[in-house]
Structure 1
């Protein structure tokens, strides 16, 4: 099994995180600050160079104003849609 950061699923998650950050009107800097993290934190997350654990993902959802369960449901829906469009 390949490392998580190289899997299609991780790309889908990163795309959703960036989408919700932008939809919330937060910059990467503002989001990082709200999380009490260094300025580069969100940039590193969105480029995939920093992985999030489940607790950090939940905290991020709180900052972005999206319920954790909603993000997970959207993630699953996006995976299904993506798999259908690629013929998988």
Structure 2
């Protein structure tokens, strides 16, 4: 099963984008917190690349977001 651009992947991107916007951060500011180039943020938010679980945890931490809650949200919508 391909996950890139699947409904669950799209939902993950929506959750991460909303969390970044709620935190009041630009892509560059988040990238700086992660020690990554701004293009890293742009590519995953745009659905051009997947993020692995370790990257997800780092992003969630940088956004002060509850990673487990985000996962539960996605799982509840796409279980099955």
TM-score interval, normalised by the smaller of the two chains: 0.7 to 0.9
Q: What's the offset of the Cα at 1:51?
A: 1.2
Structure with the greater alpha carbon radius of gyration:
1
- Aligned with 1:6: secondary structure? coil
Structure 1: gaps (5+ residues) = 84-88
Distance 1:19 1:26 in 2: 10
Matched, 1:14 2:16: no
Structure 2: gaps (5+ residues) = none
Matched, 1:58 2:57: yes
The TM-score with structure 2 as length reference comes to 0.87
Equivalenced residue count is 79
Q: What's the offset of the Cα at 1:70?
A: 1.7
Runs of 4+ in structure 1 displaced over 4 angstroms? none
Greater relative contact order, per chain length (Cα 8 Å cut-off, separation 6+): 2
- 2:47 aligned residue: 48
Residues 43 and 49, structure 2, Cα contact 8 Å, conserved in 1: yes
| Pair 73,43 (structure 1): closer, same or farther in 2 beyond 3 Å | same
The structure with the largest helix share of the pair is 1
The TM-score with structure 1 as length reference comes to 0.80
